[in-house]
């Protein structure tokens, strides 16, 4: 029976879902040959808000780990051994499972081997970690495959009825439970930036940001996290600015007062890339694994990036 089911599943993938048809129309309209769809959000999180679960929408697969590639004639999903059976049962018509085992090429390897010379490989710059971009660039050099950051996410472009992110309030974790005050944590982090002979630190990891401020949120199911970016910039020997990029609707008046007492400068979440246009000549710490390509480009325009593990 299992062999018969596999054959049925294999032949069912020869057709393609209506979503893939519409997605490939986007590929053709933009002149792209391939498009990568990661599971992560802009913060490289494994567990993501519903609005960032693009793989589930486009393929049907709802596991917490995976990465997909859609070309003009292939739709491939890579995931690990936890999810092989789940992926086989959930993938919609037109999709093929690529098991993450040594015998199966990775997405980067498959793309470098199977895409034609001069192909255009597109991606969402907010969802591509810098480390993966650099690996792809090396693998694509010999075939002159072009990496194209595209400002519009192509899955979002075909996602009918996509819900906007719900505004969920943030709460403060009292200092007695946190062990250290947020003021102490921020000061210690600024001192570590100084020890590393740098000027600033970009933090994109949601758990690190929640820890630094002793705050907890509900933006991600079953995770006490909220969506934000943190940038700490030293302005003197002992002075530093703390910049938090967040949807301020999530902050109560009490929390705004709390952050004000910490001298935190609040910015809209969407302003993070443009903010770095006003920062020049600084040495900024970031982590390749967590820094997305869009922020990398925004920072390196007028500053020097230093790749280190986060001092937080």
pLDDT in tens, 189-244: 999 999 999 999 999 999 999 999 999 999 998 899 999 999 999 999 899 999 99
Helix, strand or coil for residue 27? Answer: helix
245 token code pair:
């990029």
Is the confidence at residue 13, as pLDDT, over 50?
no
Q: Supply the DSSP symbol for 212.
A: H
Tokens of 37: 């769809």
Structure tokens at 117: 């010379």
The CA-atom distances, in angstroms, between 147 and each of 36, 37, 86, 132, 133 are: 11, 14, 31, 11, 8
The answer to pTM > 0.75 is yes
Rg (C-alpha) for the chain, rounded Å, is: 21
Per-residue confidence (pLDDT) for residue 5, from 0 to 100 = 37
What confidence score (pLDDT) does residue 46 get?
87
pLDDT, position 7: 39
Stretch (H or E) spanning 293: helix 293-300
* pLDDT value, residue 6: 43
Distance CA 17, CA 77 (A): 15
**Contact of 122 with 150, CB cutoff 8 Å:** yes
Q: From 167, 148, 261, select the one nearest 214 (Cα to Cα).
A: 261
Three-point CA angle 125, 224, 51, nearest 5°: 40
> Residue 250: pLDDT above 90?
yes
Q: What does the block give as tokens for 175?
A: 């200092």
Chain-centre distance of CA 79, in angstroms? 17
Question: What residues are paired with 240 via a beta bridge?
Answer: 234
Mean pLDDT score, 2-21: 59
> 203 pairs with which residues across the strands?
230
């Amino acid at each position: 029976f299992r062999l018969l089911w596999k054959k049925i599943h294999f032949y069912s993938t020869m057709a393609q879902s209506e979503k893939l048809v519409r997605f490939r129309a986007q590929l053709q309209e933009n002149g792209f040959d391939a498009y990568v769809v990661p599971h992560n959000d802009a913060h490289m999180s494994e567990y993501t808000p519903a609005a960032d679960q693009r793989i589930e929408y486009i393929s049907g697969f709802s596991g917490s780990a995976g990465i997909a590639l859609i070309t003009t004639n292939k739709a491939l999903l890579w995931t690990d051994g936890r999810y092989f059976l789940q992926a086989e049962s959930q993938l919609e018509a037109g999709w093929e499972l690529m098991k993450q085992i040594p015998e199966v090429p990775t997405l980067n390897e498959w793309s470098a081997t199977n895409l034609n010379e001069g192909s255009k490989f597109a991606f969402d710059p907010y969802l591509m970690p810098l480390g993966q971009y650099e690996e792809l660039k090396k693998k694509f050099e010999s075939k002159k495959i072009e990496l194209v950051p595209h400002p519009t996410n192509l899955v979002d472009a075909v996602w009918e009825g996509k819900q906007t992110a719900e505004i969920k309030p943030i709460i403060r974790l009292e200092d007695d439970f946190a062990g250290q005050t947020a003021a102490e944590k921020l000061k210690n982090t600024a001192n570590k930036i100084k020890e590393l002979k740098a000027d600033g630190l970009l933090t994109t990891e949601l758990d690190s940001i929640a820890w630094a401020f002793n705050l907890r949120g509900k933006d991600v199911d079953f995770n006490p996290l909220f969506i934000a970016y943190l940038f700490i910039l030293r302005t003197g020997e002992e002075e530093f600015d703390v910049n938090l990029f967040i949807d301020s609707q999530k902050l109560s008046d009490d929390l705004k007062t709390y952050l004000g007492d910490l001298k935190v400068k609040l910015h809209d979440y969407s302003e993070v890339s443009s903010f770095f246009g006003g920062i020049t000549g600084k040495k900024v710490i970031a982590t390749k694994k967590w820094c997305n390509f869009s922020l990398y480009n925004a920072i390196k325009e007028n500053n020097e990036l230093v790749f280190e593990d986060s001092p937080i």
